[in-house]
Chains A and B, each alone.
Chain A
Amino acid sequence: NAGVTQTPKFQVLKTGQSMTLQCAQDMNHNSMYWYRQDPGMGLRLIYYSASEGTTDKGEVPNGYNVSRLNKREFSLRLESAAPSQTSVYFCASIPPGGRTEAFFGQGTRLTVV
């Protein structure tokens, strides 16, 4: 039981390049989330998927797209990376029913130069 797995762990991109961050969970959770973490700002929600086949914008969606490929996988794509997207990205999943904690991946440290 691996929980939430993110790949890659580290990435350096040049401005304008594209990439996809992968996330998979093996806990059969419906809800999955992408956050970014910046110093002094906690975690901010980029996109979420309440269930397979649905995605919605969070607090800071600009410059990102997502795909909920199936129940297990939720990917985050940067089409044209910008230095402002330098951050640590976390994927999370939450069991159904509310009032439960989120399970987080180990994070992806992205630097855009």
Chain B
Amino acid sequence: AQSVTQLDSHVSVSEGTPVLLRCNYSSSYSPSLFWYVQHPNKGLQLLLKYTSAATLVKGINGFEAEFKKSETSFHLTKPSAHMSDAAEYFCVVSYSGGYNKLIFGAGTRLAVHP
């Protein structure tokens, strides 16, 4: 069965330090992978996506993620956190079949401290 595991429910960093949000997936074939961000009381915004092209994917606001098939991971990173990055982040796997099925991770809440 397909699944997505976000390894940390909460991550806290200081402004200006690196961010690492971890995501592992299980799949019997190559999926598409996404990271979405949700700011408080807002909808979901796409940060970046992997769809079988380059394994290192760059997104908006300085975020990037690397697809590692051997580790079934798709971790999200940013070199230097900003206060505005405080939000909840969702790792999402998409499988195409009769319909586009999305599997969401439980989310990681990122706190950024001055």
Residue numbers of A with Cβ under 8 A of B are 31, 33, 35, 40-45, 48, 50, 56, 90, 92, 94, 98-102, 104-107, 109
Contact = CB atoms under 8 A, between A and B. Distances in A.
Contacts, number: 59
A90 B44 contact: yes
A98 B100 contact: yes
13 contacts: A33-B102, A40-B9, A40-B106, A42-B107, A43-B90, A56-B99, A90-B43, A90-B44, A94-B102, A98-B32, A102-B94, A102-B100, A109-B41
A101 B90 contact: no
Interface stretch (B45-53, B70-78, B79-87): B45-53
Contact of A99 (B41, B52, B92, B107): B52
Contact of B99 (A42, A48, A105): A48
A96 to B, nearest CB: 9
Given A42-B90, A99-B52, A106-B42, A94 B106 contact: no
A107 B43 contact: yes
Interface residues of B, number: 25
Given A104-B44, A107-B43, A31 B100 contact: yes
A99 B94 contact: yes
Interface in B11-47: 32, 34, 41-44, 46
Nearest to B43: A106
Given A94-B100, A98-B96, A100-B32, 19 more contacts: A31-B99, A40-B106, A40-B107, A41-B106, A42-B4, A42-B104, A43-B102, A43-B104, A50-B98, A98-B32, A98-B100, A100-B51, A100-B94, A100-B100, A102-B94, A102-B100, A105-B43, A107-B43, A109-B41
Interface of B: 4, 9, 32, 34, 41-44, 46, 49, 51-52, 90, 92, 94, 96, 98-102, 104-107
A31 B100 CA distance: 8
B43 A104 contact: yes
Nearest to A56: B99
Contacts of A106: 42-43
Contact of A98 (B94, B104, B106): B94
